Amino acid sequence: MVYQDHLTKFVLLRALQSKRATEVAYQLNYIFLTIGAPCILQSEDGREFVNNVTSELASLWPELKIVHGKPRRSQSQDSVERANQDIEIMIGSWMKDNVTKKRVEGLRYVQFMKNRAYHSVIKQSPYKALFGIEPRVQLLTSSLPQEIINYIQDKDDLRKVTEDYCNDNLAEGSDDNVADVSNQEKVSSSEKVSSTENDIRKARTTAAENLVKQAKKMKATSDKSPPANIGDNVTKPIPDVDKGKGDLRNTIGVILQKNDEGETMFARILIAWANYQTPRAGNGMRRT
């Protein structure tokens, strides 16, 4: 299961034994109690499934109130599918690098890699957008050289190496670059907390502004496309649950009906199954 916060793009990955609403709600409840719950829940599995999930969440957490969001635009859905494919590729690479078939073990590492990576939409890492700071990897994110980090085994080694490294840097620096520590004011805990809160607020404001810019770009791109009419052929992505690894990603459909609701157009698609494959038993596909 892939859970992503819309504003910060922060991703949480959870392993599921089945895709039942009860199990999905249990994992979501754990996530919400850790980082907070959203107001709107969107899913590629449809309104009925989300309604079942929200009902299960209400039984687990009676004070929780979440509503189902509108269906995504086609461009947003494509970006979600690409993100899911990236996660699949990253998990496969992790399993290959670590010579293991334990797929579940790689979820935590892939989750961390996704959240610490720079996101092109919000112009920062999802981790920073959520917590206001870049993720730390203990000594690897320090200013110590790699050869010194490899030498450290315990706390005494760390203290000795840090003192030697600082003394060497002070000896090599000029008087202009040496700070007068005795004249520096001590920063109180409350000031540090206030600074962190400001960093988080600034990071989320930046993320929100960049999301608006991205939405405007997507809207401009969508407006360039000619409006679809009843009887037109369109390309529709095939859901992952309905296709195998070697099947095509898209299929051809025919628009039978459309409804205009403000700026959103919903179309009922008749899938031309024969254009891409014949349904096989047990692959989750069915004719409607």
What is the per-residue pLDDT across 95-124, written as a single tens digit (0 to 9) for each? 999 998 888 999 999 999 999 999 888 888
With respect to residue 189, please indicate whether it lies within any of the assigned structural domains: no
The reply to whether 18 and 126 lie within a common domain is yes
With respect to residue 39, please indicate whether it lies within any of the assigned structural domains: yes
Residue range 135-149: average pLDDT? 66
What's the structural domain count of the chain?
A: 2
The reply to whether 126 and 231 lie within a common domain is no
With respect to residue 106, please indicate whether it lies within any of the assigned structural domains: yes
With respect to residue 29, please indicate whether it lies within any of the assigned structural domains: yes
How does pLDDT run across 212-223, given as a tens digit for each residue?
877 777 777 766
Residue where a domain terminates, one of 71, 99, 131: 131
The reply to whether 241 and 124 lie within a common domain is no
**At 28, which CATH number?**
3.30.420.10
With respect to residue 42, please indicate whether it lies within any of the assigned structural domains: yes
DSSP state of 270: E
Residue range 152-164: average pLDDT? 70
Residue where a domain terminates, one of 90, 105, 131: 131
With respect to residue 143, please indicate whether it lies within any of the assigned structural domains: no
Mutual orientation of helices 47-60 and 21-35 as an angle, nearest 10°? 60
DSSP state of 249: S
pTM (2 decimals)?
0.60
Q: Show the 3-state SS of 154-194.
A: CHHHHHHHHHHHHHHHHHHCCHHHCCCHHHCCCCCHHHHHH
With respect to residue 185, please indicate whether it lies within any of the assigned structural domains: no
How does pLDDT run across 188-219, given as a tens digit for each residue?
556 666 677 777 777 778 878 877 877 777 77
Most confident of 25-34, 81-90, 227-236: 25-34
Residue range 141-162: average pLDDT? 67
CA distance 288 to 230: 19
Residue where a domain terminates, one of 106, 131, 156: 131
Rounded to the nearest 10°, the torsion over CA 17, 23, 28, 31 is: -60
The reply to whether 237 and 122 lie within a common domain is no
With respect to residue 27, please indicate whether it lies within any of the assigned structural domains: yes
Domain that holds residue 79: 2-131
> Which of 57-61, 73-77, 90-94, 232-236 shows the lowest mean pLDDT across its residues?
73-77
